[in-house]
Structure 1
Amino acid sequence: MSTEGTHPSPTWLTADYVEQKLRVYFKNNSLKLIKLQIKPASPKGKNYASVMNRISVEYTTTTDSKIKKVTSFLVKATFADKDPASELLSDYGIYTREMDIYERILPDLANMVKNEIGDSQKLFAATVDVDRSKESIIFEDLSLEEYKVASRLKKLDLEHTHLVLEKLANFHAAGAALAKRQPGIFEKNFDRGFFNKHTRGYESTMKNLLEALSRSLEFNQDLKQRYQAKIDRLVDHVMDYGEKSTSINPGDFVTLAHGDLWTTNIMFQYDGKGHPTNAILIDFQFSVWNSPAIDLHYFFSTAMDDNLRWNSQPELVQFYYYKLVESLKKLKYSGSVPSLFDFQLQFQRRAFYAVFSSLIFEPCMLYTGKEEASIAQGMSDSESGIRFRDSVFEAEHIRNKMFFTLPYLDQFGLLDTM
């Protein structure tokens, strides 16, 4: 039931439990589970906010008792209570929020995108079961339809990026329209992204990683001279600046933002020539009611090819904007739609999102070292925690990346006092 280097599977994930859930999902009380196999769906340290398992099942029904059917599903659950990440993440309400999204929000958004926007392709994984007592979600296994995650190290080229931005525009447009049709649907528990007014649970992790970045600049005297003092100052202000960048201003266009849109949270389907034909969004634990610009900054900083990021951001914001406006019109959105000029300004006002995602999160996402990678390691003052954080920024590919990332951010004044 468990493998070395992975979180153990939940003790409650038994054959009887799965059989009961599948009977409800397939609407067939005669379903009998013949075989259950549980395997980790992601290695420990590759999913920082939950435990993922793939369950392979073999079952029969009374109507087809001689025919054994085989399929698989994904089970997403919270960390065990003893895990240091459990308390931190529960303060952000991520588990309740994602259960709400899969149970109440995504089915409506999927219908709106399909029937009103006219995109017949899948945008989310179908929900099999939401169990609030276990804080778990079972959903379809997209790998059965040959969906796969792109390389987090290689990142996304223009073809993938355009596809994601089009899907993201549909998602944002549908979220904004749903809020108009069902007032108050996003009022409870959708105000706690990485930066918010309620908790600063990530503060120690973010400060610790910035301090490790500062230490890594000792290896290059030019970068040290130009940026170390700025990074040291940022340590004391990262949460303040983050909260400022996510404050909603009068006149802002706001919607349901994904909140954690990077390579691992997008799955692609491909044609026979290797071209992406569809993109599906997964992992909505940090979804938040805010500007869609935070998704754009986060995605550009963590998932997109660096050359596109350095050279093509304004035109990619424009590409996204026109897709958003087109989808809002099809949904007969009753709210105010910003001009491209105003939306570009809104994007600029959220630019600090690019700082924390570039300097704190992205290096961890690109980690290839041998130390255990986890939220606990980011928080810990232990030798192991410090060793992990230093190894993140001492990696050659991260040190090389900082030659471009730091000047890029600095030219916009994003490393100065804000």
Structure 2
Amino acid sequence: MAELRKKHKTWIKEFLTPNLVENQKLITCKNPKEHIEIEAIEIKEMSLEVAFMLTVCYFVKISIKIRTEHEQCEGEDGYDETLFDIVVKFAPDVEPDLYEIWGMQEKFGNEITTYEHIAPKIESLSKSPKCLYSHNEPSDAVIVLSDFSNDGWKMSKLKVNLPLDHIIVAVKELGRFHGQMYALKLTDADAFQSMKSRLLNSRFGEVTDEWNICLELGIRRATYSVRTSIESREIVPETFLKRLEEVMYGVYDYLGKRNRPIEPIAIICHGDYLRNNIAFRYDVDGKAIEAMMFDFQTMCYSSPMIDLTTFIANSTGWKVRNKHFSEIFSAYHESLIGSFIQASKWEESKIPEYLKYDNMLKEYACYLPFGLGIASAFLQFLHDKETPNFEQKSPIKETIRFALDKGGDVVDAELRALVVDIYQLHDKLDLNLEKL
């Protein structure tokens, strides 16, 4: 591990930084008499405490001195000194079979595709980080991005159970993104198809034994938590719990099938829209006022509800949802429709039926088990401070303990609440759980 980090840092110092300077990715020389010198490079590895991630990331601060011949510039010895902050993301150094199972080449391919071919055409992505360098070879990939913190963006200090102000701006941003994607799909089919055809399947291929166990036991943990809660047991009938277990049996396969596109509602989605991949801007009082999505490795063509249910199930808490779900869903839907109308230039009367509020709410209800499936194996990571080692296989007993116990009562309560949400929405909207 230490040798790998040393290799990364050497590459950043000896290849990447000179390359960025030479290709004028950091600063553009307009005067042929300007001379640029790399003064210092500071490298700091990003901790898993910041965010859950499979990649190896570094914050890099580059100090550059610019001297102009025959001109006395400000700064010591006639130099102007400028600082640049970048983020360098390396693919994990794992065995080739695990690299393939994780779909790392596809994930890096999708992110590069997004920066090169999708972001320039989708206005809501214009505030995302800028890609400065990339390469993507088998078992060797790297992406270099501008550091969005320089533009006032910050990740939430909370990894889970975001406050309402964060939730509202996050779903509004998601609705804005989805609305612009629908507008492109319906007004410029060729451009949309060109984007879609470049995306690779980066999820729901092969699966590790550990992850499969976590998913299967996570769903059982959720339904067991309902059965052992007097309050929840009075709300959710046993017949519904058994049906949910039947429908989601083979969770990984269920998620893969649910992720497949169904027309006409399918669009290009982020694919992993949750707190780890969202940054916020705040007002002077610390209130979240704007959100930005990043990390586009799981971009895919599917129902927009894979994004919304992933966010709701993994980044919001049941206490906020119980009080404010209508407000949250309305904020998302109003943003989607407003964005669609603005981008398409269509009148409101031309909006497709499947984008109307009631139909989108039904779509959300049908896809909420997808969000539960992701949460059933992911909330444990988010609520527990123990950092997993993804590069080593875990003993089966340890994996079982992790799936059933990590996060304790807090995770039990969140999973239980998601099952209750699924039941109540299906009951209210007169829907049946679908066997895929």
What TM-score bracket applies, with the shorter chain setting the length? 0.7 to 0.9
Equivalent position of 1:185 in the other structure: 194
Equivalent of residue 328 in structure 1, options 340, 362, 381: 340
CA distance in 2, matches of 1:162, 1:277: 9
Identity of aligned residues (%): 17
Could you tell me which of 31, 42, 46 is aligned with 1:41? 46
**Aligned twin of 1:53:** 58
1:231–1:32 distance in 2 versus 1, CA, 3 Å = farther
Q: Deviations over 1:124-150 (max 9, x none)?
A: 122222334552221111223342211
Q: Would you say 1:289 and 2:301 are equivalent positions?
A: yes
Q: Which residue of 2 aligns with 1:373?
A: 388
Change over 3 Å in CA distance of 1:86–1:46 after alignment to 2: farther
- Report the equivalent of 2:12: 13
The structure with the larger Rg is: 2
Matching residue's letter, 1:51? V
**Native 8 Å contact 1:45 1:373 kept in 2:** no
Deviations along 1:213-248, whole A, 9 cap, x unmatched? 647998998269969977875774213422342333
Q: Following the alignment from structure 1 to structure 2, what is the Cα–Cα distance between the partners of residues 288 and 219?
A: 32
Provide the TM-score with structure 1 as the length reference. 0.80
RMSD (Å) for aligned C-alpha atoms: 3.8
For 1:140 and 1:7, how far apart are their aligned partners in 2?
22
The size of the alignment, in residue pairs, is: 400
Q: Distance in 2 between matches of 1:348 and 1:214?
A: 20
Could you tell me which amino acid in structure 2 is paired with residue 124 of structure 1? Answer: S
Q: Hey, what's the Cα distance between the residues in 2 that align with 1:40 and 1:258?
A: 25
Q: Gapped runs of 5+ residues in structure 1?
A: 115-121
* Cα distance in 1, alignment partners of residues 338 and 88 from structure 2: 35
Identify, as 1 or 2, the structure richer in helix: 2
Structure 2: state its 5+ residue gaps. Answer: none
Out of 378, 386, 392, the residue aligned to residue 406 of structure 2 is: 392
Matched with 2:114 is: 101
For the 8 Å contact 2:280–2:290, the answer to whether it is kept is: yes
TM-score scaled by length of structure 2: 0.77
Deviates more, 1:326-335 or 1:297-306: 326-335
The aligned runs of 1:8-407 (5 Å cut-off) are 9=8, 12-24=11-23, 25=25, 26-28=27-29, 30-43=35-48, 46-63=51-68, 66-82=79-95, 85-90=98-103, 93-109=106-122, 112-113=123-124, 123-132=127-136, 135-153=141-159, 155-179=161-185, 180-181=187-188, 182-188=191-197, 190=199, 192=201, 194-195=203-204, 199-201=205-207, 205-211=211-217, 214=220, 222=228, 236-252=249-265, 254-332=266-344, 337=352, 338-368=355-385, 370=386, 372-376=387-391, 380-382=394-396, 384-392=398-406, 395-407=408-420
Q: Distance in 1 between matches of 2:296 and 2:176?
A: 16
Alignment-mate amino acid for residue 345 of structure 1: K
The 8 Å contact of residues 90 and 141 in structure 2, kept in 1 or not, is answered as yes
8 Å contact kept, 2:222–2:415: no
In 2, Cα distance between equivalents of 1:7 and 1:100: 29
- Contact 1:214/1:231 (<8 A) preserved: no
Q: Secondary structure of 2:193's match? A: coil
Separation in structure 2 between the aligned mates of residue 86 and residue 194 of structure 1, nearest angstrom: 12
Shift of 1:35: 1.2
How far is the alpha carbon of 1:270 from its aligned partner? 1.3
How big is each residue's C-alpha offset from its partner over 1:299-332, in whole Å with a ceiling of 9 and x where there is no partner? 1111123223234334422321221111111112
What is the alpha-carbon distance in structure 1 between the residues aligned to residue 301 and residue 316 of structure 2? 23
Contact persistence 2:118–2:195 (CA under 8 A)? no
